[in-house]
Structures are given as C-alpha cells and as structure tokens.
Chain A
Amino acid sequence: MSLCVGGRPARTAIMLTAIAALIMLTPMLWVVILSFKDNASLMADTRSAFLPPWTLANYWSIVGEGQVFTWLMNSVIVALAMTVGVLLLASLAGFGFARLEFPGRRFLFVIVLLGLAIPEQAVIIGRHQMFSAAEMHNTYAALVLPGLSMPFGVFLMTQYFRAIPREIDDAARLDGASRLRIFWKILLPLTLPAQATLGIFVFFHAWNDYWWPMISATDKDMLTLTVGVAATQMNFAQAEGLGFLMAQAVFAGLPTLLVYLAFQKYIVRAVAGAAGQ
C-alpha cells in the first residue's frame, strides 16, 4: 500500500514525480540521440545532435568488432554466475544469522558487517597476487569468485529475514518441519522482493565492474563487455568519437535495463490485488 492511495495528494505527488522523471530522462535521451550521430559532426558542435542526418554507423562499428559477442557472452555468464552465487550464499547466511543460534554468531556477523567497509582498493592487489599465484587469471572463476565475498548480500538478507515475523517459523516448527525445510519452503518465498532487489544489484554490479576484470582478464577472449567495449575507444586523434561512445553506452546498458524490467514485478507485486488475501 502506498503512502497516498487515491485522492488529490496522490495525484500531485505522482505529477511531481513525473516531472522529476522528465528531468532525469533528459540526459538519457541525449545519450540515445547522440548514439545515432556521426562523430565528425558532433565534434564540430554537439548541438548538431538534434538535427538530421542520423545514422546507425556507430552501432555497426560495435557489432562489426568481431569479438563483441564473445564479450557479451562472457558478461552474461559472469553476471549470472555471480548473481546466482551471491543469492544462494547470502540467503543461507542471512537465514543463519537472523534465525539460528550457534556459538559465535554475533561475533561472526559483526565481522561480516565490518567487511562491508573494506573498499575494493584495499584488497585488489592482494587478490591479484593470489590469482597470479594460482595461475587462475583469464578464467571465469577469477571473474566470479571475488564477487561472491560481497558482504552486502548477507547484510541485506539478514535484515529481511529478521523482518519476517517469528510466528511463521514457530508455527512450522510445531508442525515438525526441519530447519532446511523452514528455510527453503516457508521463509525463502517470503523474501522474494529482497531476492529480486539483491539480484538486480549483483547483476548490475557484475555487469559494470571495470577495475577487477580489466586487470585479471587480459586475454581478448576473456574480456567482459564493459572492458572490451571501453578498449575500442579511439585515441585522441578521433577526439573520443562521442557518438560511438554513446552507442557503446546504449549497447552495454541495455541488457541490465532488461534484467531490471524483468525483475521489477517481483519487487512491486500486485499491491492492491494482494491486499487482504
């Protein structure tokens, strides 16, 4: 249920939000329009974006980069594997921290929370050295495994498991359900909005990750889309090829947007319809 269902305040609020959305949208529309312009005319004057001719040439340049579909596949594999892995690990750990008692639980949880504060810059060299020692650079494992340690997922899932009323598991326990069963059959489905949120977050994080994939995957067959596409950028002589860059942005951003659209119905379920059922 929303803050203001029906009535004038609701309409005012949504109108204001719609106006804000238009302001949000302006730079994005600009990205899209620029992506259909040829680079030379943009360099002379970016305002020429609003005048024809428009062209698909920038998109052809991306697609014509023989490797781009390999990179796309790599990104899909890495992002999916990381998403599934984090969801699984974080759900298990979140349930454990929120619902079970075992020695050292609080201490472990505090340590994991502290882990949230570790910036990537503080660990990246160490990770790089470890994967070098294991000769594991340029593998999917090297691209996926570091992401699985993300404490954010555990933090999020613990919060959501805690928010579920205790009575639900108590009732199930009285029925003689095992912990695994309570977790899997009863509580997990209730965390669907959180799962979807975390899934989107992880997928998007994996997709846009630049720094680690750039130094770990250096074989051109192992590049992710974000890194591969960034490298196709021209040198200074072509003055950054503005339209080309924008086409790259649209091309690389579209898959994550689609994932969001696919997941958002789980984040906001049929509020009105579900009420009272």
Chain B
Amino acid sequence: MRRMLALLPLALVSACGNPDARTELVIQRFFGACQAEYGAIADPGKAQGECGIITAMINEFEAGNPDIKVVENTVFWPGYDQLTAQLAANGPPDLVTMHSSAIPDYEARRLLEQLDEDLAAVGISPEQFTAAARAGVTVDGKVLGLPIDVWAPLWHVNMNLFREAGLAVDGKPVLPASPAEFRAHAAQFRQRTGKPYLIQITNKDFAAPTRIFYAWMLQQGVPLFRDARHANFDSPEGRRALEFMKALYQRGDSARNLDYAGAVSAFLKGEGGVMVDGTWMVGQFDAASGNERSPLFRGYAVRPFPFLFHARRVALVDGHNWVMPRNARRTRAERAAARRFLQYFAANDFQWARTGHFPAFRAVIDGAQWRQLPHRGDIAAITQIGEPLPKFVRRQSPIEFIVGEEVAAAYTGAKPVDRALADMQRRANGILQSY
C-alpha cells in the first residue's frame, strides 16, 4: 500500500508531463487559425490562402518528422506584443514569424539568434535568397532568420473600368509615367466612368497611405531617412510627393473615408480603377475575376507601382521570416528540430509563394512553376528592384503609422501640407532619438 502511495506522485507526474519522448518545437505565428478547414490536410498543394497553406505545411512537416512534436501558437496579427512580453519573461518560442522591418528592433537588443551556421548545417546558403529577401534578414552581415517571402504593395487594376475609361491596350492597363500623365488619366477615368481612379486607404489603417508617399519619394532618388536618427520627410521631394497626392484627392480622383476592409470591399464592388494593396490580395482578386457575378469578372490585372519620377527605379518591399528568439533554456535537440523545420520551409518555398507573396529563393522565382501562377509574370520585375528599408532604421512600423496619419490629414485639408510634413518629421525623429 505504502509503495503504491509512493508511486502515485510519479504516476501523476508522468500523466501530466510529456508522455512521449519527442522533442518539442514551439513555433509562434500570425496568418490566422483554420484548423476546422485545414487541420486534416497535410498536402500544401491542396490548400489555399496564407492560413490554409501554412497550416498544411506545418501538418506536412509533422507527418514527415515523427520524432518532433510541433506546438503551434497562433497569435493575433502581428503578435509582437506577445513576443515582447515573452522575451521579457524569458520564455519565448523556438521560432516566430517576423516582418523584415521589425528585425532591426529585436536585433538591436540582441534578442535574436544568428542563424548562419544553422542554415548552413541544413544546406541553406544566403546566396540562394533573392537580394530583397537577403537584405530583409541580414543585419551587419549576420543572417537572423529564414526568409519565407518578400511582399510589396502593388497596383491592383479593375480592367473592366480601365477599358471603359479608354486606358487599356491589348487587354493591358495603360499606366501613367509622370505626374502630369497621372492627372490626365485620372481625369479621363472620372469623366468616362464617373468613379475615382484610385481606391486608397485613408482611415484607421494608416500604414497604407504611407506606402504611396514612400514610393514617390524613393522614385525621386532621395532616401527616406538621412541617418539612423533623422527622417527625410520634410524635404522638397517629400513636399512634391504629398502635394501631388493631396491635389489628386482634392480633385475627387481618390475614394474617400475608407479603412482597410472598406477599401477591399470597394474594389471588389468595382467602385474605382486601382487599389493599392499588397501581394497577399492577388489570389483573392484573381478568384473574383473568375466569378461572373463579380465586377472584376475577366477584368483583373496587377502591376508594380508606375514610375512617375524617374530618378531611381526602386520598389519598397518587406517580407515574412522565421526568426529564433534567444532563449537560454533551449536545448540542442530543440535547436536541431528548429533547423529541420527551417529546412522544410526552404524546400517548400514555392508552396508558400502560392499565397501571392514573392518567393524568397531565387531558384523558385527563376523556375517555370512560379511564373505559371496567375499574374506572377506581371509583377516579377519587383524581385529585381525591390528593396527593404535600410537596417539602420529602427521602429519602422510605428513610423509608417505616423507618416500615414499625417499624410491622411494633409489629404483632407485638416492641416496644410507643410504642417503635415513638419509634424511627421518631428514625430518620427522623436522616436528615432528616443533610444
């Protein structure tokens, strides 16, 4: 009896503890949860969309690696509040999804593991990454993650409206090549269709207007940041970009009062010619173009941003990566498991690129398989000219938000352009000089 009692705690411990001897790999990601639809699917080829594809990929990895138990935390996008809290509590997961633009913040605090050796151990060389993907994960020559994609804001075009407006030749959209041409196209579009040329987000989701502003600035050949502590928004180039966009808005050539969801819905309803949004929408808009009840039926095209200013051919990109937060308690076995997980993702980059994002590996971009996916040929140029923000700039995401807030205030006339530029400059510098 006494022996049995003595055994009881042991039995309890083993019942509550990990009954299998498998290595536990804790991964944390955004992209949503969709177990109901994809929980049983272990073939990424059969999945659609970011959530479906990543779920199926992780399922496939688990099936192929029975000695690894994957614990998957799904977090509300973008999940950095949790990650930061976990790091402060010394309990971060083994691998986390992270935007390229967030890497400098964590690296500055030495919170990420350098992965050069880990990647090399499973046969991955940074040489294999595209230039943009490589720039996205590299800080001071150290590779801090495995890029899984590169994404960019794009011009999603409603070709049915473009045809009506006389802005299509051979089924292809005619895009402006200068500010004057843009003005003329927009006027013609409004005249013939009665709708605004541009659908852009100006409410609540302020990162969106920033991307247009950044693009026009970069095309004028100036940097967005003078150095790590100073933005360059309050400059002649910034003024030119903002004044141009404000005039467009004031003339009625841009939809108004839309937040993210509203803008997507407006584009799907055919309420404007061009929507500025990221690579992740390609799949969904393409699907709409196959639906005969959609205003986009047989009328969807997508292009990189047109070049209005010709000092520099460049497109601003960001990307998603797997990074490994530092954790003193991580065992060698766990790190080895993480390595195999990265190896799997590198090998299946094509599957992830079906989401609409650009592949992170050159071999996939050069391969026929990717080019045959819908619309990829039309935007592939970005893989040549795409560039992330420089790594010496920290706090990129909150600065993007501030810039957008000020841009939107200038559009509506809530404040004059000069004030908006001065304010975004001051607020961004305040952040850059706070650490």
CB 8 Å contact bits of A208-243 with B (1 = contact, 0 = none) = 000000111011100000010011111111111110
Contact B73 A129 (CB under 8 A): no
B74 contacts A by Cβ under 8 Å: yes
Residues of A179-221 whose CB lies within 8 A of B:
214-216, 218-220
B34 (CB) vs chain A CBs: closest residue: A61
For A37, the chain B residues whose CB sits under 8 A away are none
Instruction: Knowing A232-B33, A235-B31 are in contact, say whether A218-B85 is a contact too (CB < 8 A).
Output: yes
B280 contacts A by Cβ under 8 Å: yes
B194 contacts A by Cβ under 8 Å: no
B225 contacts A by Cβ under 8 Å: no
For A216, the chain B residues whose CB sits under 8 A away are 85
Q: Shortest Cβ distance from B40 into chain A, in angstroms?
A: 10
- Complex CA gap A145/B31 in Å reads 32
Best-buried of B31, B71, B76, B278 by chain A (most CB within 10 Å): B76
For B336, the chain A residues whose CB sits under 8 A away are none
Contact B76 A230 (CB under 8 A): yes
A65 contacts B by Cβ under 8 Å: yes
A64 contacts B by Cβ under 8 Å: yes
Q: How large is the interface on A (under 10, 10 to 19, 20 to 34, 35 or more residues)?
A: 35 or more
For B85, the chain A residues whose CB sits under 8 A away are 128, 214-216, 218
Instruction: Knowing A44-B269, A45-B269, A240-B261 are in contact, say whether A234-B72 is a contact too (CB < 8 A).
Output: no
Q: Shortest Cβ distance from A270 into chain B, in angstroms?
A: 45
Contact A232 B265 (CB under 8 A): no
Residues of A132-166 whose CB lies within 8 A of B:
132, 137-138
For A219, the chain B residues whose CB sits under 8 A away are 73
Q: Shortest Cβ distance from A237 into chain B, in angstroms?
A: 4
Contact B74 A232 (CB under 8 A): yes
- The stretch that binds A, out of B88-96, B123-131, B185-193, B298-306, is B88-96
For B86, the chain A residues whose CB sits under 8 A away are 218
Instruction: Knowing A128-B85, A220-B71 are in contact, say whether A238-B32 is a contact too (CB < 8 A).
Output: yes
A66 contacts B by Cβ under 8 Å: yes
B51 contacts A by Cβ under 8 Å: yes
**Which residue from A62, A128, A235, A239 sits with its C-beta under 8 Å from B77?**
A235
Instruction: Knowing A61-B36, A232-B33, A238-B49 are in contact, say whether A218-B72 is a contact too (CB < 8 A).
Output: no
Give how many B residues have a beta carbon under 8 Å from the other chain's beta carbons.
Answer: 42
CB 8 Å contact bits of B4-38 with A (1 = contact, 0 = none) = 00000000000000000000000000111111110
A112 contacts B by Cβ under 8 Å: no
Contact A236 B260 (CB under 8 A): yes
Residues of A95-110 whose CB lies within 8 A of B:
none
**Which residue from B81, B82, B89, B356 sits with its C-beta under 8 Å from A237?**
B356
For A113, the chain B residues whose CB sits under 8 A away are none
For A260, the chain B residues whose CB sits under 8 A away are none
**Which residue from B50, B82, B269 sits with its C-beta under 8 Å from A218?**
B82
Q: Shortest Cβ distance from A217 into chain B, in angstroms?
A: 10
A266 contacts B by Cβ under 8 Å: no
- Complex CA gap A63/B77 in Å reads 21
Best-buried of B31, B85, B283 by chain A (most CB within 10 Å): B85
Contact B35 A64 (CB under 8 A): yes
Q: Shortest Cβ distance from A233 into chain B, in angstroms?
A: 6
B294 contacts A by Cβ under 8 Å: yes
Known A43-B265, A235-B32; further 5 A-B contacts with Cβ < 8 A = A44-B268, A215-B85, A234-B50, A236-B281, A237-B281
Q: Give 5 pairs: A residue, B residue, CB < 8 Å, sorted on A.
A: A231-B73, A234-B34, A235-B77, A237-B283, A238-B50
